């Protein structure tokens, strides 16, 4: 009988700020997490991710490589970030030259089960639950839908 390779969730090579709370199980590796942050259970934060001070990452969030999250941000349950835009008509696989970056500003809240493609999001933005952000958000406001669009000013 064949035996599968089994990997345990882990915290490896993470640069933590002060007063960080992590609720296991999590998978955090080769990333940087700022001061006074909370990381909930069942979260994965991959390498080359930078999370600013005073952020809260709720359960089941997935933050892939090349994401930067600013200060005082809230990432709700099940929010997902994507770095592969399928620019070659399918998955780029391990070809990281085809992956793109996501930059999240300060004071940004991302709702439950939102999906964030490689974009830039300005400061003081709220992304509604279940939204899909496909384009840069350049001004403060509340955005929702698929694709996400501005609903109102803050």
Q: Please check whether residue 61 lies inside any domain of the structure.
A: yes
Q: Please check whether residue 1 lies inside any domain of the structure.
A: no
Residue 40: name the closest of 50, 19, 26, 30 by CA. Answer: 26
pTM for this structure? 0.95
Q: Please check whether residue 63 lies inside any domain of the structure.
A: yes
Q: Please check whether residue 5 lies inside any domain of the structure.
A: no
Q: Which residues of 60-75 are buried (b: 16+ CB within 10 A; e: fewer)?
A: bbbbbbbbbbbbbbbb
Task: Render pLDDT for 46-74 as a digit per residue (tens, 0 to 9).
Answer: 999 999 999 999 999 999 999 999 999 99
Q: Is the pLDDT of residue 93 over 90?
A: no
DSSP assignment letter at 112: T
Handedness of CA 84, 85, 86, 88 (dihedral sign): negative
Check which CATH number belongs to the domain holding 31 and give it: 2.160.10.10
Mean pLDDT (whole number) for 91-110? 94
Q: Please check whether residue 6 lies inside any domain of the structure.
A: no
Q: Please check whether residue 131 lies inside any domain of the structure.
A: yes
Task: Render pLDDT for 116-127 as a digit per residue (tens, 0 to 9).
Answer: 999 999 999 999
Contact 45, 32 (CB under 8 A): no
For 65, the domain range is 11-152
Mean pLDDT (whole number) for 30-50? 98
Number of domains in the chain: 1
What residues contact 4, with CB distance under 8 A and at least 6 apart?
Answer: none
Q: Please check whether residue 2 lies inside any domain of the structure.
A: no
Quick one: CA torsion of 99, 100, 103, 109, rounded to 10 degrees?
A: -70
Here the tokens at position 71 are: 């200060």
Q: Is the pLDDT of residue 24 over 90?
A: yes
Mean pLDDT (whole number) for 129-140? 98
Q: Please check whether residue 66 lies inside any domain of the structure.
A: yes
């Amino acid at each position: 009988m064949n035996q599968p390779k089994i990997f345990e969730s882990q915290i490896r090579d993470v640069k933590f700020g002060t007063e960080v709370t992590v609720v296991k199980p999590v998978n955090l590796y080769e990333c940087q997490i700022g001061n006074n942050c909370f990381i909930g259970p069942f979260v994965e934060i991959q390498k080359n991710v930078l999370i600013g001070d005073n952020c809260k990452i709720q359960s089941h969030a997935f933050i892939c490589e090349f994401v930067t999250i600013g200060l005082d941000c809230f990432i709700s349950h099940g929010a997902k970030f994507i770095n592969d835009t399928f620019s070659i008509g399918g998955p780029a696989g391990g070809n990281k030259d085809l992956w793109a970056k996501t930059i999240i500003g300060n004071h940004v809240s991302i709702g439950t089960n939102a999906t964030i493609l490689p974009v830039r999001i300005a400061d003081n933005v709220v992304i509604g639950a279940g939204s899909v952000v496909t384009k840069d958000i350049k001004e403060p406001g509340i955005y929702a839908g698929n694709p996400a669009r501005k609903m109102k000013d803050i």
